[in-house]
């Protein structure tokens, strides 16, 4: 079997606040294979963006990586110095945020931004021609190289953000809510284009969205987070058809066939806990319809339950079915 492109092991991130540390990621382990799309799902505050930012070490203070490892293509990311990080970001791992479309420089043209990015990383030989190709790649005619950001729609600006991310041919692109601010048609078109680009160029993606339907359609595998912990991970189709963790079932049952927003999963009673004082044992137990005595006493570990499919729930260990 191929080696993972990205290997995350026991990753912990704390937000160090005046009232004490808040553990936003608790011993998270995940792999991303070359060329695959891993979707990250979970309600608001579950740690999705913290994970995305930790992977390329752009976590804002007061967040601190307090344990674990991140290995990308053989590189120990947590041990890299500033120069090592500069070489990693954009060239090897690029990121597209929801706000990428607002991050374009308003006083220079789109073409200048693309050529600046190319030349800043020593790839500017072909200059304008390459910038035009990049724009065409994301569905914008090369004539728009002379446009300024304010002359483009939100969808086009986000496409430029994607072109910038792909400029240096990274092998992993992190997409953190890349289309959340756009309307449904534009979103669908952009995601389809990203998928086509992935097939053509072979880069892997980590994809974060609130839309569980889109997530299942767009991803090869999906990882479900709850209150800073990974609770289930498996092939997208398996999770759609046979989710095994009660929380995953709640999320998916809330949106059975159409895409929907899971900022708050309506079918699951209650809300996620504060990470300052998380419940003991399984963090989902106060909301879980299947909670047993052991659930509030012991944290369930992730166990393998099928090919590339794992979940953390005492029901799966005790053999009882939900």
Residue 117 or 219 with smaller CB distance to ligand ATP = 219
How is 72-91 classified by DSSP, letter by letter?
Answer: ETTEEGGG--HHHHHHHBTT
Q: 237 is written with which tokens?
A: 């189709």
Residue span 292-321 as binding mask against ligand SF4, x where in contact by CB under 6 A, dash where not: x--x----x------------xxx------
Rounded-to-integer distance, Cα 102 and Cα 160, Å? 11
Rounded-to-integer distance, Cα 185 and Cα 188, Å? 5
CB of 105 to ligand SF4, least distance (A): 47
CB–CB of 169/185 below 8 Å?
no
User: Which residue matches tokens 């809510």?
Assistant: 177
Q: Which stretch binds ligand SF4 (CB under 6 A): 72-80, 123-131, 255-263, 286-294?
A: 286-294
29, with CB counted inside 10 A (0-12, 13-18, 19+), is: middle
CB of 255 to ligand SF4, least distance (A): 19
Rounded-to-integer distance, Cα 50 and Cα 227, Å? 12
Residue 196 or 267 with smaller CB distance to ligand SF4 = 267
Rounded-to-integer distance, Cα 49 and Cα 3, Å? 25
- Residues found near ligand ATP in the complex (CB under 6 A): 15, 17, 22, 24, 42, 44-50, 62, 275
45 binds, among ligand SF4, ligand ATP, none (CB under 5 to 8 A by kind): ligand ATP
Q: Is 246 one of the binding residues for ligand SF4 (CB under 6 A)?
A: yes
DSSP 135: H
Q: Is 255 one of the binding residues for ligand SF4 (CB under 6 A)?
A: no
CB of 86 to ligand SF4, least distance (A): 42
Segment 175 to 214, residues that bind ligand SF4, using CB under 6 A: none
CB–CB of 32/172 below 8 Å?
yes
One of 24, 63, 152, 288 touching ligand SF4 (CB under 6 A): 288
- Site for ligand SF4, rule CB under 6 A: 245-246, 282, 284-285, 288, 290-292, 295, 300, 313-315
């Amino acid at each position: 079997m191929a080696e993972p492109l990205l290997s995350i092991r026991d990753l912990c991130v704390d937000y160090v606040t005046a009232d004490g540390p808040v553990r936003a990621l608790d011993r998270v382990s995940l792999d991303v294979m070359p060329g695959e799309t891993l979707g990250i799902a979970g309600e608001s505050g579950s740690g999705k963006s913290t994970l995305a930012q930790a992977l390329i070490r752009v976590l804002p203070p007061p967040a601190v990586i307090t344990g674990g490892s991140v290995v990308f293509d053989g590189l120990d990311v947590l041990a890299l110095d500033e120069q090592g990080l500069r070489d990693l970001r954009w060239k090897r791992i690029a990121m597209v945020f929801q706000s990428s479309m607002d991050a374009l420089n308003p006083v220079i043209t789109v073409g200048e931004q693309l050529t600046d990015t190319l030349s800043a990383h020593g790839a500017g030989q072909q200059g304008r021609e390459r910038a035009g190709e990049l724009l065409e790649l994301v569905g914008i005619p090369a004539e728009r190289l002379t446009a300024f950001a304010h002359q483009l729609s939100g969808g086009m600006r986000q496409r430029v953000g994607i072109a910038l991310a792909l400029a240096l041919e990274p092998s992993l692109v992190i997409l953190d809510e890349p289309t959340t601010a756009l309307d449904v048609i534009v979103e669908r078109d952009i995601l389809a284009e990203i998928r086509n680009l992935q097939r053509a160029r072979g880069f892997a993606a980590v994809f974060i969205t609130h839309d569980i339907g889109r997530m299942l359609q767009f991803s090869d595998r999906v990882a479900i987070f709850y209150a800073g912990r990974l609770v289930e991970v498996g092939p997208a189709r398996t999770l759609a058809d046979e989710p095994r963790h009660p929380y995953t079932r709640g999320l998916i049952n809330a949106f059975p066939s159409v895409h929907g927003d899971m900022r708050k999963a309506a079918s699951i009673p209650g809300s996620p806990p504060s990470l300052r004082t998380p419940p003991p044992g399984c963090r989902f137990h106060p909301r879980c319809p299947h909670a047993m005595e052991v659930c509030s006493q012991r944290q369930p570990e992730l166990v393998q339950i099928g090919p590339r499919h794992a979940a953390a729930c005492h029901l799966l260990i005790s053999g009882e079915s939900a």
